[in-house]
Each structure stands twice: as C-alpha cells, then as structure tokens.
C-alpha cells in the first residue's frame, strides 16, 4: 500500500453551500488504536531509530494530540462545531499497556480531549475489573448500547447506553454498539450480556428522538460490513463512525475505500487503526436534523505532523524503562514477512506459518504434532532486516502462553470448521496451522466448509482420522475457548498450560533460524 499525505483542514471547501447549512458538525475520530502510544512504521510495528531518521514513522499520541489540537482550534476559531470521538479498542497491544494496564491510554486520551468513546472488544481483555480501572481514569463518557453490565459489580452503572453532547447550541446524540462476539474474542466474563446490535441501536435512537434529539450518530465497534447493515436498517441514524474491521478509507491513499462510504443517505466513516490516520468527517444537517451532506477525509499522521513536544516528552519518560528491552535484536529476516490483517484472517499467511511453526517446534518434544494459532492474534508484519524484541511484541502483544492437550481428530476438525466459519468477515478466529494442512470451501455453509484435512506422518501426509487422538499446541486464549474454540476446553484432554510466552517462543525460533526466510507452502487452500 502506498501512503500519501491526506488533506488537512485547509483542503476542505467551506463554500456557500456549507455556509448556508442549518448546522455543520466536524467529527475528528480514531479507532483500533491498540495502545500504539509510540509511533509505528509502515508495517504497523515498532518505529525504530532508523525509521525515525528516514522520516518513516506514523502516528503516536504526540502526533495525534498535535493534529487534533490544530484542527480543533482552527475550526473553533472560525466559529465551527467540532467533537473528538473514539470508536473503541484503545487498549491492549504494546509493552506500555502491559506495564500500566490502561493508565497510559487514559492519561493521553484525557490530554487530547476526547468527547466520547465507544467500547471495543479489547477493552475487556483484563475483564470487567480491568475495564473499571480505565473508566475510573477518564472523564469523558464511554458508551455501548448493546450490552447489559448490571450484574457485574465492577461495571454496573458505569457504562451508559447513549449520551447527548451539547455542541454549538445544539444537541448531538451518540448511540453505540460493540461486536457481539466479544465474549469469544476477549474476557468480559459471564455476567456481561450482549444483545442484538440493530435492535439495541434502534431502541436507543427512539429514546433520544423522544427526548427531542434529532441529530444522532452511531459510534460503533462492529466492523464495516455490520455498519453497512446498520446504516440501511436502523431508522434515525444520521451517520456512523466505526471501527473493529481496521478499514482504511481515504481519498488519496492507493487501494483505500473512498471516505466516507454512503449507504443510502447515511455516511459511514472509518479511519484504519494504530493511530496512523485521523478521520475528519464533516456533516451538514438541515433544520429538521437530516444529514444533507457528508464529506471529509482521513489525514495521514506522517512525518509532516510535528509531535506535541510536551506529550512526546511524557511518552519518552514512560517508555524509557522498556526501551532497552524493545531494541534488542533477536534475529534477521531475509524479506518482508506478511502479517497483514486481511492475509492472516482469510488464508495462509507468512506470519501465520512462522508463528505456528515456532509453536510446533517448541512443543514437539512433548509429542505434539499439530499447532493452531488464531490469525487475529497476529498484529503486525516484519520488514526485511533485523527484528527486535519490540517488533516481535508488536506482532504478538497479548502475552499469550502455550497450551498443549490431546484431542480426537473430530475435535481438531471441529476447530478448523470454527476457524473458517467467519472468513467472509475476516474474523480473527481464522486458523494458521503447522503439522496439519486443509482445504476449505468459503462458499459452503459454515460448519461444512472443510473439504479435507491431512496430518504429517513422518515424511508423508495422511488423512486426519476423526477417531484417532492427536497432541495439539495452541495459545492459552484459544485453549480457554476464545474465538469460538470452545471444543478445546470441552473435548481436549490432559491439558497443560505452561510458558514461555508465545512471543518468547517466536523470538527464540527466529534466533535459531536466522536469517529467517518467509514462505507459503500450500498448507491452507481454498476449493
């Protein structure tokens, strides 16, 4: 993908049509930040000193703060209305999150001045208690309308279904929703209850309309496909600012979707992930509160954006204790290793092969013959050249450990079926594997997509036997039923949860096989 600087405020045309509008609202927005407090490189991984010297760093909270302040101050100086929103997944994904468990993200969101945030699934990664600690540190509303937290001691009364913001003498209603598979992708626990997304949003819209609010924006963490459905099906939503699918919309970046997407008359805006882009959506409303225009673009936060010096100094202070660890080189990779979102959630990918092979190599001495890793657990790519500890942790930020167990072939087959059951929406459960290969039909109905599966037997491949028992290694998240792999917990036997972490396993495997050469070998095929 080729990144080009997107237009800033001066490139928007506030012409006669806009001046005559009854009400104009500017929305600055992020989503799927994933704790990228420090800048990232072109592959969404750690921005090393070499990247910085070459001007090849993107994002980071200091750049976000600078650009938000520039735009917001400029808009307000013109007498225009502006709000700053986040569509979820601020938490999880860096050593700073691992060290401070959300306090750093909360601090910088407060400094930047967000007006509201929707919950993402990864806000639940440390359970309700972990989310409560984050909520205690922020003053802006954190909302989600399609869940019930009343039975949880930590969250009861802390998460509103919706909120109304007073902006420029008018009221803006915000409704929100989080993906309903959060119970599988994160750790909300049994007392957080998820409801139908469309029905919940419709009820919240109706409640706001009954209060006389006629400008309503959905702040969602459900992915673009669901956002399109909501825009078409839920009456009263004027625009959607979304996240979760990490969709790049841009009117200048090659290969991106246009910003915003229009579903009927409803603008839908996404701004990728990791703080690399800041979305700027401009909505014009008529006197009745109907959107008559939705325009704007995402802004690439590249080297042309000068970081806020005060925040940059604070980031350096926080990062100092972990920086020495992050910069240690563990290996060299010969060429780019693709760990991209789309590749690893829909097909065999290079990073998936690396991680699954590393898992299998480590666990083989325990008699393990099959490795399964969820594609959603892979969060970055490696560029060619030296690979640091920080870059390995960017790929594998969740502190997962290895888990081994025995399972019948029928259980392994059920796991593969689960893994490909949501491939049409690029769900994170897609299986990256080693010691096993399979063919699946994405056009078949979920539950019947795996056409064939074979396991390695010495130097040959043999069909997976549903009645035979195999030793499997996965990560503790999947072993506990995450991403729909409930069969591992209910049917797996003689489970053993042990370290080291998956990141350590991959780092050691890279060191042994340096220089590592990425490859695809056809272990996952489509019919």
Lowest mean pLDDT among 42-56, 178-192, 337-351: 42-56
Distance between CA atoms of residues 134 and 35, nearest Å: 13
Concatenating the DSSP letter of every residue in 484-527 gives G-HHHHHH-EEEEEEEEEHHHHHHHHHHHTPSB-----SSEEE-
Answer yes or no: is pLDDT of 1 > 80: no
d(CA 26, CA 293): 12
Residues 307 and 349 in one domain: no
Residue 369 in domain? yes
For residue 16, what pLDDT is reported? 36
Percentage of the residues of the chain whose pLDDT score is greater than 90: 73
Average pLDDT over residues 276-285: 97
**Do both 265 and 376 map to the same domain?**
no
Place of tokens 């013109």: 78
What mean pLDDT is predicted for residues 305-318? 95
- Checking if the pLDDT of 71 tops 80, the result is yes
Copy the structure tokens of residue 216. Answer: 């309503």
Residues 494 and 459 in one domain: yes
DSSP string, 177-235: EE-TTHHHHS---TT-EE--HHHHHHHHHHHHHHTT---EEEEEES-HHHHHHHHHHST
Give pLDDT, residue 489: 80
Of the residues 298, 318, 338, the one at which a domain ends: 318
Give the pLDDT of residue 324: 76
Kindly report which listed range (109-113, 344-348, 391-395) carries the lowest average pLDDT score.
391-395
465-474 mean pLDDT = 96
Is residue 371 domain-resident? yes
Mean pLDDT within 32-47: 84
Continuous H helices in 101-196: 103-112, 127-135, 182-185
Do 282 and 431 belong together in one domain?
Answer: no
391 with 468: CB under 8 angstroms?
A: no
Which residue would you say has higher pLDDT here, 44 or 251? 251
Taking the C-alpha atoms of residue 37 and residue 312, their distance in angstroms, rounded to an integer, is 10
Q: Residue 269: enclosing H or E segment and its boundaries?
A: strand 266-269
Integer Cα distance of 247 and 98 in angstroms: 26
The domain boundary residue, chosen from 287, 318, 349: 318
Kindly tell me if the per-residue pLDDT of 404 is higher than 80.
yes
Compute the mean pLDDT over every residue in the chain, rounded to the nearest whole number: 90
Task: Give 195-246 pLDDT, tens digit per residue.
Answer: 999 999 999 999 999 999 999 999 999 999 899 999 999 999 999 999 988 8
Note whether residue 89 is domain-resident.
yes
In a domain, 324, yes or no: no
Mean local confidence (pLDDT), 40-53? 80
What per-residue confidence (pLDDT) applies to 231? Answer: 97
Cα gap 285→292, rounded to integer Å? 6
In a domain, 132, yes or no: yes
Q: Is there a single domain that holds both residue 338 and residue 301?
A: no
CA torsion 357→359→360→362, rounded to 10°? Answer: 120
Q: How far apart are CA 329 and CA 18, in angstroms?
A: 53
- The domain that holds 268 is classified in CATH as 3.60.21.10
Structural domain contains residue 511: yes
Does 2 map to a domain? no
The CATH code of the domain that includes 398 is: 3.90.780.10
Q: What is the pLDDT of residue 500?
A: 64
Residue 4 lies in a domain: no
Looking at 283, 318, 353, which one is the last position of a domain? 318
Same domain, 182 and 218: yes
Q: Is 373 helix (H, G, I), strand (E, B) or coil?
A: strand
In this structure, the answer to whether residues 298 and 413 fall within a common structural domain is no
Domain that holds residue 91: 9-318
Residues 204 and 352 in one domain: no
Residue with tokens 């800041």: 278
Residue with tokens 């279904």: 161
In this structure, are 311 and 388 located in the same domain? Answer: no
Supply the pLDDT for residue 499. 55
Q: What is the DSSP letter of 249?
A: B
Q: What integer pLDDT is reported at residue 490 of this predicted model?
A: 83
Question: Cα(124)–Cα(120) distance, rounded to whole angstroms?
Answer: 8
| CA gap 260, 130 in Å, rounded | 34
What is the per-residue pLDDT for 72?
97
CA distance 355 to 380: 12
**Residue 395 sits in the same domain as residue 372:** yes
Check if the beta carbon of residue 67 is closer than 8 Å to that of residue 97.
no
CA–CA distance, 499 with 508 (Å, rounded to integer): 13
Q: Which of these, 176, 175, 262, lies nearest to 216 by C-alpha position?
A: 175
Do 207 and 172 have their domain in common?
yes
Tell whether the model's pLDDT for residue 361 goes beyond 90: yes
For residue 9, pLDDT beyond 50: no
Query: Is residue 323 pLDDT above 80, yes or no?
Result: no
Q: How far apart are CA 358 and CA 505, in angstroms?
A: 6
d(CA 46, CA 39): 7
Total number of domains in the chain: 2
Residues 223, 275, single domain; the answer is yes
Per DSSP bridges, beta strands 469-475 and 370-374 are parallel
Q: Which residues contact 78 (CB under 8 A, 6 or more apart)?
A: 14
Spatial distance between the Cα atoms of 55 and 21, rounded to a whole number of angstroms: 40
């Amino acid at each position: 993908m080729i990144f080009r600087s997107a237009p800033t405020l001066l490139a928007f045309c506030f012409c006669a049509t806009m001046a005559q509008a009854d009400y104009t609202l500017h929305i600055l927005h992020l989503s799927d930040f994933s704790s990228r407090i420090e800048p990232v490189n072109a592959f969404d991984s750690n921005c090393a000193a070499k990247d910085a010297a070459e001007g090849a760093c993107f994002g980071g909270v200091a750049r976000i703060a600078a650009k938000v302040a520039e735009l917001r101050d400029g808009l307000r100086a013109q007498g225009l209305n502006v709000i700053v929103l986040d569509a979820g997944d601020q938490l999880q994904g860096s050593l700073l999150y691992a060290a401070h468990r959300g306090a750093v993200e909360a601090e910088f969101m407060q400094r930047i001045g967000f007006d509201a945030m929707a919950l993402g699934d990864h806000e639940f990664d440390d359970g309700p208690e972990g989310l409560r600690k984050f909520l205690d540190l922020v003053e802006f509303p954190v909302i989600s309308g399609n869940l019930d937290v009343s039975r949880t001691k930590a969250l009861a009364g802390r998460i509103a279904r919706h909120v109304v913001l007073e902006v420029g003498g008018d009221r803006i209603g915000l409704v929100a929703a989080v993906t309903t598979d959060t119970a599988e992708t994160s750790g909300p626990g049994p007392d957080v209850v998820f409801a139908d997304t469309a029905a919940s949003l419709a009820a919240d819209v109706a409640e706001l309309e009954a209060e006389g609010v006629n400008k309503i924006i959905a702040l969602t963490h459900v992915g673009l496909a669901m956002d399109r459905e909501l825009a078409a099906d839920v009456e009263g939503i004027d625009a959607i600012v979304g996240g979760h699918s990490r969709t790049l919309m841009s009117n200048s970046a090659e290969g991106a979707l246009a910003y915003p997407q229009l579903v009927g008359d409803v603008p839908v805006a996404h701004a990728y992930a990791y703080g690399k882009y800041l979305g700027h959506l401009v909505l014009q409303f008529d006197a009745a509160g109907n959107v008559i225009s939705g325009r704007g673009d995402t802004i690439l936060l590249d080297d042309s954006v000068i970081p806020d010096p005060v925040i940059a100094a604070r980031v350096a202070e926080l990062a100092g204790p972990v920086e020495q660890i992050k910069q240690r080189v563990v290996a060299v990779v010969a060429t780019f290793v693709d760990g991209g979102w789309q590749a690893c959630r829909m097909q065999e990918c290079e990073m998936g092969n690396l991680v699954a092979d590393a898992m299998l190599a480590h666990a083989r001495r325990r008699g393990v013959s099959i490795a399964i890793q969820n594609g959603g657990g892979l969060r970055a790519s490696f560029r060619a050249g030296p690979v640091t500890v920080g870059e390995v942790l960017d790929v594998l930020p969740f502190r997962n450990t290895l888990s081994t167990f025995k399972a019948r072939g029928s259980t392994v087959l059920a796991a593969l079926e689960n893994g490909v059951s949501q491939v049409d929406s690029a769900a994170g459960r897609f299986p990256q594997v080693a010691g096993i290969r399979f063919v699946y039909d994405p056009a078949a109905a979920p539950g019947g997509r795996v056409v064939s599966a074979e396991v390695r037997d010495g130097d040959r491949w043999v069909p997976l036997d549903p009645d035979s028992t195999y030793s499997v290694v996965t990560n503790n998240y999947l072993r506990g039923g995450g991403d729909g792999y409930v069969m591992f917990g209910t049917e797996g036997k003689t489970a053993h949860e042990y370290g080291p972490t998956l990141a350590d396993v991959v780092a050691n495997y890279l060191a042994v096989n340096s220089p590592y050469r990425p490859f695809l070998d056809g272990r996952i095929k489509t019919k």
